Chain A
Amino acid sequence: MSDFHQTDPIITLHRLGRAGLERIESEMVEFSKQRPIALVLPALYTEFQGEAIKGIIEELKKVKYIREIVLTLGRAKEEEFKKVKEFMSQIPYEVKIIHNEGKRIQEIYATLDRNGLWAGEDGKGRSAWIAYGYVLANGVSDAIALHDCDIVTYNREMLARLCYPVANPNIDVVFCKGFYSRITDRMHGRVTRLLMTPLLRALQKLVGPNPFLLFLDSFRYPLAGEFCMIADVARTNRIPWDWGLEVGVLAEVFRNYSPRRVCQVDIADNYEHKHQPLSAEDVQKGLMRMCVDICKSIFRTLAAEGIVLSDSFFKSLQVAYIRLAEDTMVKYEADAAINGLLFDRHEEAGAVEAFASAIQKAAEAFMEGPMVSPLIPNWNRVTSAIPGILDMLKKAVDEDNRS
């Protein structure tokens, strides 16, 4: 059970004791008649060789309010795509698989490319974006939910709670993000705990009260990969193709919608998925690359908000960040102690040092090219440039799934 504190300016929906999965699901069945929901699952073929996906599919088989599942599959050969198709056929409702390496989808990317609409490099951002395109082209769903396929602790209550605020017409929400704690015998979620929160607060110290920083800071788990939104958000928002996906999506939501129509929901008591290595010595790999991209995304959005970012600003930021991160570490140490969790102070301090260097790298990259943007154009722009693109995409996916 959690507290019931509301963090301004967004809505926070807590988990207050009574679970009531059956009640939520029966309500969802009714809501989904008015607002059909599509579930987008970005996945790599390697994830189908693990155990997590089996649990997810077992749970999804029991869900009755999802209109369609769009699995966007990356790094899969033709044979592997067929295996995934067979595996997904056990779900008793409509499932479409986007074969990102297939010749039809590759031709869609080539069409975009030659029209000056580069969809970015292969990754979760591009996969999610193309899946939104298919949902829009299909035209049967009014809401889109998305979660990863490596969640070991997945249960269908997660999905129900994630979709509920958007599906319920009485809660006027356009975008809903999940939050949870990530605990085993220790605390995980280093990037959120030790980079995002101290960085946002350090920025607020330097910049002063800023609506965007306040908006980001109001999310309990801004890097959570689970969210649900109305289909219009997918049409109007641009999506970053790099590792700054989660922050980039929040920045676009902040830009296009009122924070009063944005919420976060407690979807699980605990959440466990694949852990990434820190790779502190190489900024091109693992969590370090993710950190650099996240920082760049925040810096770009702040610059777009009219904040002047200079060399001296970044120097001050680094000092302020390290101070705040150290203070945060002390807080988490106490939190770990009272909950009987392991806490490796040295490892956490090492992570803070690595994150500080990631901030520096991001600052350097921003100063070198402040206009460089990893955002994929939104679907409104794409359909304006190539009017038949959604029809082509629908045809490509339908043919891939037929053959």
Chain B
Amino acid sequence: MEGFVDVMFQPLEDFWRGFISFVPNLLVMIFIFILGFLFAWVIGILLKRVLAVVKFDIWCDRVGLTALIRKGDVWAKPSEVFVRILYWFLVILFIMIGLTALQLPTIDNLISQFFVYIPRAFSALLILIAGYLFAGFLSRAVLIAAVNSGYHYAKILAEAVRLLLVVLILAMALEQLQIAPGIVVAAFSLLFGGIVLALAIAFGVGGIDAAKRIIEKGGEEKKEETGEKGRDIEHL
């Protein structure tokens, strides 16, 4: 009879022992969660003040980052957006750290993958921001150059340059994030390759006479230059 009772209560005892050893981990996890929220909140407040002191919003307005945020229909101040992103990043970070306290192998695996992914996400974000600014700068430069040289379709050309650069930047960011890298690279290569091929064919077919004139003109100029040089040598 005693054996039967032992067999019956063994699983309950095991469960109890497991539960007793799990509870401290759970409490640690909850503690880390709360700490994470508090830490993120404090950092958020501090960062908000620092960004106000360094006039981050005005800087964003002037370099065009505010306009970029507005394109996504986000109407908060750039500093608020930045603080909110950082707040949730810290909260998620602490949630991940808290989950490791449970010491469950499956979750540990996922978390280690998450931490490996953070630098990639960060560099992709940097690529996006720097790329957007660079695309804006180059598009404006093209617009000014094209307008000054009297090109009729200056705005369309500038927008085309911006669009191509944005596609390039997006491809780079996706590649960095390792989101279907094969497809991204293939799609990008096909797109750019296609555009270059289309331009080459367009120029080759439609502008064959213009190309001929340019080459002939270049040749004539070269001849004149060497002729003049030759004469200079004769005079010497």
Beta-carbon contact of A114 and B70 below 8 Å: no
CB distance from B53 to the nearest CB of A (A): 13
B20-74 CB contacts (< 8 Å) to partner A: 57-58, 61-62, 64, 66-68, 70-71, 73
Report if B75 contacts A (CB, 8 A): yes
| Complex Cα spacing A111 to B61, Å | 8
- Chain B residue numbers with a CB within 8 Å of A388 are 61, 64, 66-68, 70
Instruction: State whether B70 touches A386 (Cβ < 8 A).
Output: no
Whether the Cβ atoms of A115 and B71 lie closer than 8 Å is no
Minimum Cβ distance to chain A for residue B65 (Å): 9
Is the Cβ of B58 less than 8 Å from the Cβ of A387?
no
Count contacts between A and B, CB distance < 8 Å.
Answer: 42
Task: Check B73–A399 contact: CB distance below 8 A.
Answer: yes
B70 in contact with A392 (CB, 8 Å): yes
Whether A386 and B62, one on each chain, are in contact in the complex, defined by CB atoms closer than 8 angstroms, is yes
What is the interface size of chain B, counting residues whose CB is below 8 A from a CB of the partner? 14
Neighbour of B70 across the interface among A110, A115, A387, A396, CB < 8 A: A396
Residues of chain B lying within 8 A (CB to CB) of residue A387: 62, 64, 67
In whole Å, how far is B179's beta carbon from the nearest beta carbon of chain A?
27
Say yes or no: A385 contacts B70, CB within 8 Å: no
CB within 8 A of B75: which of A107, A114, A115? A107
Q: Which residues of A contact B58 (CB under 8 A)?
A: 114-115
Docked complex Cα distance between A389 and B60 (Å): 12
A contact residues around B76 at 8 Å (CB): 107
Which A residues are CB-close (under 8 A) to B61? Answer: 111, 114-115, 385-386, 388-389
Q: Which of B64, B66, B76 has the most chain A CB within a 10 Å cutoff?
A: B66
By a CB distance below 8 angstroms, the chain B residues around A110 are 77
A403 to chain B: closest residue by CB: B73
Residues of A within 8 A of B62 (CB): 115, 385-387
B71 surroundings in chain A (CB, below 8 A): 391, 395
A392 touches B73 (CB 8 A): no
Chain B contacts for A395, CB-based, 8 A: 70-71, 73
Residue of A nearest to B69 (CB): A392
Nearest-neighbor residue (CB-CB) of B76 within chain A: A107
Q: Which B residue's beta carbon lies closest to that of A392?
A: B70
Evaluate contact between B75 and A391: CB separation under 8 angstroms. Answer: no
Any B CB within 8 A of the CB of A14: no
Residue of A whose beta carbon sits closest to that of B64: A388
| Interface 1/0 per residue, A370-403 and B, CB below 8 Å | 0000000000000001111101100110010000
User: A114 touching B57 by the CB < 8 A rule?
Assistant: yes
Interface assignment of A261: CB less than 8 Å from any CB of chain B? no
Q: Is the pair A392, B67 in contact by a Cβ cutoff of 8 Å?
A: yes
| B residues less than 8 Å from A392 (CB atoms) | 66-67, 70
Residue of B nearest to A387 (CB): B64
Q: How far is the CA of A389 from the CA of B66 in the complex (A)?
A: 9
A82 at the interface (CB under 8 A from B): no
Q: Which chain A residues lie closer than 8 Å to B67 at the CB level?
A: 387-389, 391-392
Closest B residue to A385 by beta carbon equals B62
Q: How far is the CB of A203 from chain B (nearest CB, A)?
A: 42
Q: How close is A377's CB to chain B, nearest CB, in angstroms?
A: 14
In the complex, the chain B residue whose C-beta lies closest to that of A388 is: B67
Q: List 21 A-B contacts (CB under 8 A).
A: A103-B75, A104-B75, A107-B76, A107-B77, A110-B77, A111-B61, A111-B66, A114-B57, A115-B58, A386-B61, A386-B62, A386-B66, A387-B62, A387-B64, A388-B64, A388-B66, A389-B67, A391-B71, A392-B67, A396-B70, A399-B73
Q: A114-B58, A392-B66 are in contact. List 13 more A-B contacts (CB 8 A).
A: A111-B66, A114-B57, A114-B61, A388-B66, A388-B70, A391-B71, A392-B70, A395-B70, A395-B71, A395-B73, A396-B70, A396-B75, A399-B73
Q: Which residues of A contact B (CB under 8 A)?
A: 103-104, 107, 110-111, 114-115, 385-389, 391-392, 395-396, 399
